[in-house]
Amino acid sequence: MRVVITGIGAVTPLGVNLQETWEAVLKGKSGIALCSRIDTSSLPYKLAGEVNTERLKGFFTEKQLKRLDPFVQYAVVSAVEAVKDARTELPPDTAIIIGTSRAGVTFIEQALGSSRFSSYLMPATTANMACSQVAEELNLKGESMAVSAACASGAMALMEAYRLIRSGYAKVALAGASDAPITRLCLEGYGKTGVLSKQDTPEASRPFDRRRDGFVLSEGACIMVLEELERAEKRGARIYAEVLSAECLTSRSGQTRPDKEDEIEVMRRALVRANTEPGEIKLVNAHATSTQLGDRVEAEAITELFGEGVYVTANKSQTGHMLGASSALEIALSALSIHQGVIPPTINTTEPELKINILSEPLEAPVGKVLKNSFGFGGVNVAVVLGCRV
């Protein structure tokens, strides 16, 4: 079975839908600003990539807003948009695979600061609540699964959906991820690990730049419609890209330390599974969070496998790090790159430390195949290869 992406929905710091987000990406805009939801005066971490939640309130009733953690809200809005974008009616047995890194951390933090707990607390903060609410909203009853693999959660969700369809267990699937970690708990927690930027200007998210000092915490969701190629062609669907492979490898180098050889290995596995030579890859959409060690290791892995000529883009320069949702969004943006024939820019990287081929402006060019990297705490390494339908 061949699997294609036919619908995309997104809620990001760049916009509350796919069109706004994609237009902002191509214009080189940033979704990063001083954090408005948390008093950061006592913290060294001042920045965040925040969703404009005011624009989402009309989507939900007051009761729903009280019961649904933001990570669930973002997932529902993205899923509904993805289905509309796919221009199809989903079969009832559509699978739902949604990843998350921090699940209902917003409600957890609110509860810890309250004198009494809500009866909604435990259901609302469960990782699979996004799947459950999407199923309810879209009247679906197929297989559902919550995937949690740190920053690679979205890529893992796509991989599982891809395998379900390839193996015949589903003809259509919703896949992606959602995270809403803009909380004091996450700011201080990630800050203590030494991975957050301490700069106070939006340019702080600068992957591969010698001045980088950590990532900017962000939030959002991206959900995609995946379906069998035969079904998509039969209904005359617009196809963004074909999923050619998705591979995962677990490193044993520690909870947070990247491993160059493992990153190379997972990319090789994805290329082999996709029957693709390194020279056929036009663009690598990098994990590139803007940390000192992570970016250096990934850049070395990319250049060792592909050479210095392959184009590299780092979407987190514009969005910040949406945790598990980042990998889903970046897969979707890679699919759009293929569909529209454009390589997105990487902003803020004006003093590149390593020899990688990044662009400060979008480039219109045929993008036949893209490899997308997603790495996460706990040694998770995922590589996805997308291509044009042929």
Active centre residues (catalytic): 151, 287, 321
Q: Which residue has the tokens 């939006």?
A: 202
Are 95 and 174 within 8 A, CB to CB? yes
Cα–Cα distance for residue pair 40/242, rounded to 1 Å:
43
Calculate ∠ Cα 222-228-232, nearest 5°: 85
Residue at 315: amino acid letter: N
The dihedral sign for the CA sequence 82, 144, 262, 196: positive
**In terms of DSSP H, where are the helices of 95-238?**
105-112, 121-124, 129-138, 153-166, 184-192, 229-234
Q: At a CB cut-off of 8 Å and minimum separation 6, what does 270 contact? A: 245, 246, 247, 371, 383, 384, 385
Distances (CA, A) of 346 to 29, 60, 61, 146: 10, 35, 38, 31
Q: Within 10 A of 5 (CB to CB), how many other CB atoms are there?
A: 31
Cα–Cα distance for residue pair 57/64, rounded to 1 Å:
10
Among the listed residues 152, 111, 104, 149, the one whose alpha carbon sits nearest the alpha carbon of residue 127 = 104
Among the listed residues 132, 99, 122, 111, the one whose alpha carbon sits nearest the alpha carbon of residue 328 = 99
Residue 180 burial class via C-beta count within 10 angstroms: exposed 0-12, middle 13-18, buried 19 and up: buried
Q: Which residue has the tokens 């959900």?
A: 223
